[in-house]
Every structure is written in structure tokens, then in C-alpha cells.
Chain A
Amino acid sequence: DQQVKQNSPSLSVQEGRISILNCDYTNSMFDYFLWYKKYPAEGPTFLISISSIKDKNEDGRFTVFLNKSAKHLSLHIVPSQPGDSAVYFCAANAIDLSSGGGADGLTFGKGTHLIIQP
């Protein structure tokens, strides 16, 4: 059962426009969400995160929105630039109360390949 879903395998956006990447989750215990960006032949790099106590977090051109009731988050990139072309992974974490509060690791979505067209 896939707990973190990125339903768009790829997305093509024109340079300068807004890119919106979506992510849905099913586990109501998830309370910390992250976006990672991955270029070919490199490991994923952390982009931005949001805690469940917030509904928005902004860092420069990147904004993450969280809708807890809908179990949905999105990453907005504006304006989109050619260097933003990469695979974006959504990830979520849950506090494992049975182990004394330590989380047991991130659950990743399958990724969305963002292509920025000039």
C-alpha cells in the first residue's frame, strides 16, 4: 500500500511560469513532510520541508503548502528556471510513539520528473 503518492510521473512547464508538483498521503500519523530534488547521477538533495503545525512554508522561489484535512501537499516553484529540471520526491515522516518518540524513517513517493522548457 503506497502511503505517499505522486500521481504525475512527469510535468512539463515553460520557463518563467509556475510549476506545481502535487503529493497525497494516506497515513494520518505523518506530521513532517519534505521535498527532495534529484539530478541524474547524483543523490537527492533536500529542498524544503513543512511541519504539520503549519500550512505553508516559503524559501525563495519554493513554497510548500500543506492541507491536512485533504492529506495533500504541493510544491510551487515560481518562476521556473531551466536548472529546476529534475526529479522531485515528496517524503513524509511519522513519530513512532511505540519507540519512545523516534520516527522510523521517511516514506518517499515515486517522484515527478519536472521538465522546464525554454
Chain B
Amino acid sequence: EAQVTQNPRYLITVTGKKLTVTCSQNMNHEYMSWYRQDPGLGLRQIYYSMNVEVTDKGDVPEGYKVSRKEKRNFPLILESPSPNQTSLYFCASSLSSNSPLHFGNGTRLTVT
């Protein structure tokens, strides 16, 4: 089944403790992206990647890192999480940056 898989689905952590949210897609998509969804703000892009080893900042990249060492994986790294990063995170992929995105089911992160 074609899908985008994020792990974990839920995560509660403390300020400053490094964490990684994994994202994997099995559709051989070139384009991958991370979004966060916050009440009243909709979906905002954090980082995106056009292809392996090519990443770029989205609209709200501060406090996040990503890597794209292989086509299928696009992990989101929070080196030192802060409470304002409490949010619902979505990973997405598409054939190209002009194709419709396929989203994962989300990771709800709480930073205390």
C-alpha cells in the first residue's frame, strides 16, 4: 500500500531533550516536506526537500533540522525542543514539487 509513515504518532518530551520524528515513503517520490498545524494558523511548511541531499527552508524553519540521505526517508530533528514547538506535525511527499502531496497521519508533539 502506498503511504507516508510517521513515527511516533504521539510524543511528550521536556524542554531541551533532542528528538527525531521519522518519516518514510514507499512511493519513490522525489519531493518531501514537513508541516506543522496549529489552531488558527493552518498548515505551515517547516522544511522541504526536492531530492536526495537537497533540502531547503520553508516558512517556519527555526528550531528544526532535516536530512535527506536517502530518497525514502526525511527525518525531522529538534535539537533543543521548546514549548512553542508543541504542535501537530505532518510529513508529506509527492512525485515532484508540482504534484499533489500525500500526507502521513501526523505526529502530535507536546514539549513541557
Nearest residue, chain A, Cβ from B3: A43
Instruction: Count chain A residues whose beta carbon lies closer than 8 angstroms to a beta carbon of B.
Output: 25
Asked whether, in the complex, the Cβ of A106 is within 8 Å of the Cβ of B45, the reply is yes
Do B48 and A43 touch across chains, with their CB atoms under 8 A apart?
no
Interface residues on B, range: 20 to 34
Residues in B whose Cβ lies below 8 Å from that of A93? 97-98
Residue picked from B43, B102, B103, most chain A C-beta under 10 Å: B43
CB-based nearest A residue for B106: A43
Check B98–A110 contact: CB distance below 8 A.
Answer: no
Nearest neighbor of B4 in chain A, beta-carbon distance: A43
CA distance A104 to B48 in the complex (A): 8
Contact B105 A41 (CB under 8 A): yes
Q: Report chain B residues within 8 Å CB of A11.
A: none
Q: Which of A13-21, A44-52, A66-74 sits within the interface?
A: A44-52
Measured between beta carbons, the chain B residues less than 8 angstroms from A6 are: 42
A43, B90: Cβ atoms closer than 8 Å: yes
| Contact yes or no, A106 B42, CB < 8 A | no
Kindly list chain A residues whose C-beta atoms are within 8 Å of the C-beta of B92. Answer: 43
Contact B50 A44 (CB under 8 A): no
Q: Closest 8 A-B residue pairs measured CB to CB?
A: A43-B103, A110-B42, A46-B100, A108-B43, A103-B97, A105-B48, A44-B103, A108-B42
